[in-house]
Amino acid sequence: MRPVFWYLMGLFSIALSSDVALSQSSPCPSPIHYGNNKAAGHYATVNGVRLYYEIYGAGPPLLIMHGNDGSIVSMSCQIAYFSGAHRVIAVDGRGRGNSEDGKARFTFELQADDFAELLDHEHIAKADLLGHSDGGIIALLMGIRHPDQVNRIVAASPNLRPDALVDALLASMKQSLAYVNNQLLAGDKRENWSRLQRQLEQDLDEPHISLQQLRTIHTPVLLIGAEQDLIKAEHFREMLNNLNQGRLLVVPKTIHQNLPTTALFNSEAARFLQE
């Protein structure tokens, strides 16, 4: 499926870069079919839904979390890179990829609780976290809600509030949601419009992380942003100024969607996690 959500955001991104990848094909070609690998795949029931996840490698545990309309496939570059030195747990979030939607409204807090329970399911007392976009938001919320389970956090392109998104993205998502709602009213069955509706509503309405909450994170946090991100530049500085042990890396000559495919992303995240 190539949903309207990413299509419209893709139009915005094309204005910034001519080589943006819009599809859910693997950003880092590999003989391993990440996201559909029966040898590494598992299901666990957490908070009333079945989550799909894959485990690779051995070493310190690293939980890898994708963005809103992504899946395990979106983080292929990170899985391939970090599984050489870590036990990588890559998850399809609730209502994404091969995981179930459940009946509850999609919220970032609920997803953070899902992943914390998944770590318990795998008998992992403490893990490093690496998330991109919505996955970065969830990583920060795990640091807030489940600090005892978190070692270090790599949060790429997170936002604390919807108004931290650039105006063009907010406009695209609102346009996408209107289109999706029309398809639902028309009874169209060609796409999973209900899932997409819930994804869009989540990012238009959430998150609502206060600066006071952010200051409760005492674990080291590496923020990574793209030079031409979908998060406002001043918002990265705001987050950095309110983290107890924060640092910021801005990757030049790249955009939000391509950020996880850059070599600098992986090398700097690896150096941070090894400190």
Please report the pLDDT score of residue 30 as a whole number.
79
Q: Which domains are seen in the chain, by residue range?
A: 37-169+210-274 (3.40.50.1820)
Where the chain has pLDDT below 70, the residues are 1-26
CA separation for the pair 254, 265 (Å, rounded): 11
Nearest to 8 by CA among 143, 148, 174: 174
Q: What is the pTM of this model?
A: 0.91
* 39 CB-near residues (< 8 Å, 6+ apart): none
Please report the pLDDT score of residue 25 as a whole number.
52
Element (H, E) at 6: helix 4-14
What DSSP letter does each residue of 189-252 carry, written as one string? -SS-HHHHHHHHHHHHH-----HHHHTT--S-EEEEEEEE-SB-HHHHHHHHHT-TTEEEEEEE
DSSP class of residue 165 equals B
Please report the pLDDT score of residue 20 as a whole number.
34
* Intra-chain end-to-end CA distance of the chain, in Å: 40
* 52 CB-near residues (< 8 Å, 6+ apart): 41, 42, 43, 72, 91, 92, 97, 98, 99
Amino acid at 4: V
Residue 189, number of CB atoms within 10 A of its CB: 8
Please report the pLDDT score of residue 26 as a whole number.
62
